[in-house]
Chains A and B, each alone.
Chain A
Amino acid sequence: MLRTALLSTVLLLCGWAAAAWLTHGFQAWTDESARPRAVALHPVAAPAVPVQGPGVAAATLPALLAEGGGVTIADFIYTRCETVCLSLGGSFQQLQAALRADAQAGAAPGVRLLSISFDGARDDPAALRAYARSLGADPALWRFVRVPGAGPQQALLRRLGVVVVPNGRGDFEHNAALLVFDARGRMVRVFDLAEQQLALDYARHLARGPR
């Protein structure tokens, strides 16, 4: 009986440890809530996948993120989307308005926006241009790219923890979030869609750099 009690206690402790590891100390029960914690602890370098987009000269994603030495807030979209991307688009419009106000107030530009399509097969540069125009995007602040080629696109989504599931009706479900990249092309923070202001403040802070 003593051995049974001992073994049972050990098993319970193992289970507790496994659950604590799985939930980041009982804080994050879903993968989506664990992602910001994991990224904040261990920034993720953007893989050197090719990018294409209207008015985008950089050939790869790290080169695009490094342009101008600024901070980038990125999201993942597809142009036919009628659900969460619309709200992402709205968020980005508000972010763009805030960044324009910053520029008019004389602040140094340092934060830019980037929308990355995960439907690279359909979202060619022309489609992205039309989409950008429909959202009133300012090309100096807010760029749109796709990752040509299914392989590199999958690699990018996998590395950044973006999960896209076809919903069987020709559309996609995906975990929408605001990803903040530093000028070295590292994803340093992930913010929930509802934390738009926090993401902006964090990006501004990062862009000002260490003092």
Chain B
Amino acid sequence: MKPGLAGLALLALLALPGPRQALEASMWRHMVLQFPLLLLAGALLAAALPARARGAVARWNAHGISGLVLAGVVLAVLMVPRALDLALRDAGVELAKHAALLLAGAALRLSWRPAGRVVQGFFLGNVLPMTAVAGQLYRDAPLRLCNAYLLDDQARLGGWLTGLAALAALGWLGRVAWQLTRPEPGSP
């Protein structure tokens, strides 16, 4: 299947009331499953962009900076606990959340390679500590931060966020280390 079609299919599936409610019924599924799946759908859709559109985007996206700024901003705003509650009871916010995550996924796809290690490192250096700290707060908060979710759900989400942020950091650092220590092709 072409990535564009796969992206559309995934988006359609996520937008169906049944799967959407199932994902949003729990706080950790809302953030740790639905958010990344929407990012993935956006990334798949971006792969279907024609070359001309990519060129136009690239002119506004030197070194992938604009795209990573967009993704970072979207993830930061959606980490505010109120965003989750509002998405559940306000259709406009729910729609905006979906659109923002799709855009962020597309932006990540179009920007990651052009960004190079320095910009990637800067992006991850901002987003991952933010995620880990938010996760720690969610884990330690004695009160429910979202009216719609239970306290143990919130703590579980906190654990997931911190763990995933640590894993992503280790994964990226490991990959960079592997690339740097690999002998240059053609060198003796």
Residues on A lying within 8 angstroms of B by beta carbon are 1, 3-5, 7-8, 11-12, 14-15, 18-19, 22-23, 28-32, 34, 158, 163, 165, 167-168, 173, 175
Kindly state the separation between the CA atoms of A167 and B89 in the bound complex, as whole angstroms.
Answer: 19
- Which residue from A7, A29, A165, A167 sits with its C-beta under 8 Å from B82? A29
Q: Report B's interface with A, CB cutoff 8 A.
A: 59-63, 65-66, 69-70, 73-74, 76-77, 80-83, 85-86, 89, 144-151
Cα distance, A51 to B145, chains bound together (Å):
31
Q: Are A30 and B81 in contact (CB under 8 A)?
A: yes
Q: How many A-B residue pairs have CB under 8 A?
A: 75
Residues of A within 8 A of B59 (CB): 3
Determine the distance from Cα of A28 to Cα of B83 in the docked complex, in whole angstroms: 11
Please measure, in the bound complex, the distance between the C-alpha atom of A3 and the C-alpha atom of B89, giving whole angstroms: 37
User: How many Å lie between the Cα of A3 and that of B58 in the bound state?
Assistant: 10
Cβ-defined contact, B80 with A4, below 8 A: no
Q: Which A residue sits closest to B93, measured CB to CB?
A: A22
Residue picked from A12, A15, A175, most chain B C-beta under 10 Å? A15
Nearest CB in chain B to that of A19: its residue: B77
Contact A7 B61, beta carbon cutoff 8 Å: yes
Cβ A4 vs Cβ B63 within 8 A: yes
Q: Judging by beta carbons under 8 Å apart, are A34 and B82 in contact?
A: yes
Evaluate contact between B76 and A31: CB separation under 8 angstroms. Answer: no
Contact between B77 and A12, CB atoms less than 8 A apart: no
What is the distance, in angstroms, from A193's C-beta to the closest C-beta of chain B?
11
Determine the residue in chain B with the shortest Cβ distance to A166: B150
A31 cross-chain contacts in B, Cβ below 8 A: 81-82, 85-86, 146-147
Chain A neighbourhood of B81, CB < 8 A: 29-31
Chain A to chain B contacts (Cβ below 8 Å), 16 pairs: A4-B62, A4-B65, A7-B66, A8-B66, A11-B66, A12-B73, A14-B73, A15-B77, A22-B80, A29-B80, A30-B85, A30-B146, A31-B147, A165-B149, A173-B150, A175-B144
Query: Which B residue sits closest to A175, measured CB to CB?
Result: B147
Q: Tell whether, in the assembled complex, residue A11 and residue B69 are in contact, meaning their CB atoms are under 8 Å apart.
A: yes
- In the docked arrangement, what's the CA distance between A34 and B146, Å? 11
Contact A19 B150 (CB under 8 A): no
Contact status A4-B61, CB under 8 Å? yes
Please, which residues of chain A bring their CB within 8 A of the CB of B65?
4-5, 8
A15 pairs with B73, CB closer than 8 A: yes
Contact of B76 among A4, A7, A15, A29 (CB under 8 A): A15
- The one of B66, B77, B145 in contact with A4, judged by C-beta atoms closer than 8 angstroms, is B66
CB proximity of B159 to chain A, nearest CB, Å: 19
Chain A to chain B: the 7 pairs with minimum beta-carbon distance, closest first: A15-B73, A31-B85, A163-B147, A4-B62, A7-B66, A8-B69, A175-B147
Contact B80 A23 (CB under 8 A): yes
Residues of A near B146 (CB, < 8 A) are: 30-31
Contacts of A23 in B (CB 8 A): 80, 82
Q: Which of B66, B77, B145 contacts A30 (CB 8 A)?
A: B145
Please pick, from B63, B77, B144, the residue contacting A22 in the complex, using a CB distance under 8 A: B77
Q: Which residues of A contact B69 (CB under 8 A)?
A: 8, 11-12
